[in-house]
Amino acid sequence: MRALILGGKGDIGQAIATKLQSQLCEVDAVGRNDFDLTSTDQIKRYFEINKPEFDILIHSAGFNNPGLFEHTNDEDLRHSIEANLFGFLEVARNCLPYWKTKGCGRVLVISSLYGFLARSGRLPYVISKHGLNGAVKTLAIELAPHGVLVNSLSPGYIGTKMTYQNNSEETIAKLVSGIPVGRLGSAEDIAEVAEFLCSKKNKYINGQDIVVDGGFSIGGFQS
């Protein structure tokens, strides 16, 4: 088995890579230094060097630059959508011939609570993640006849560098107070679920968004 992890240098991407490697899966974990997901030309050059023969594709890359709508311009929107959505679709397009030839495959998108919720100051991110979840559902319908299962995994508040970068200690404490299990999630929590969804053990979960948030989104945030 061979896996390609976009955003494989981030906290969640690295945890997933480690988990898959423990299952004797060959992993190509790529980051921004390998290619920019906003550049179709860079993606094309990557696949000119590396054959797009991956049994598993995981999209764990994400761009999130908080700011209110009144301060958001078209470039902010465009960059977020290109990095979080369009780049993934271009990579999947390159991998599709191999999946169809082989007759199987697994695709997993690391989405977000903001793929179905919203938050002030996160318009570009929310738009891109909602789009990703829609893409997952459509691809799941189109690719299932070729043996490819497509799902998304939406982490809640995970103790990653991005979380601490985009939220103050006070905000994080408030978020934790709304998580029934009483803590931020870990990258390893996400990796455990990702490994199952991408494995041969998963034979029938398709087109679903699996939420891993310690119970926050089911109402834990309500006082």
Q: Domain containing 47 — which CATH number?
A: 3.40.50.720
| Residue 222 placed within a domain | no
| Residue 223 placed within a domain | no
| Residue 65 placed within a domain | yes
**What digits encode the pLDDT tens for the residues 42-78?**
999 999 999 999 999 999 997 776 767 677 777 788 8
State the helix-helix crossing angle for 87-102 and 40-49, rounded to 10 degrees. 30
pLDDT, averaged across the chain: 93
Q: Which domain holds residue 49?
A: 2-216
| Residue 112 placed within a domain | yes
Q: Annotated catalytic residue: which of 46, 98, 114, 125?
A: 125
Q: What is the pLDDT of residue 121?
A: 72
| Residue 113 placed within a domain | yes
Closest CA to 61 of 127, 129, 143: 129
| Residue 155 placed within a domain | yes
Cβ-based neighbours of 130, under 8 Å, separated by 6 or more: 114, 115, 116
Q: What is the pLDDT of residue 17?
A: 98
Q: What is the pLDDT of residue 80?
A: 86
Number of domains composing the chain: 1
| Residue 33 placed within a domain | yes
pLDDT lower than 50: segments of the chain: none
Active site residue 46: no
| Residue 221 placed within a domain | no
- What pTM does this model have? 0.93
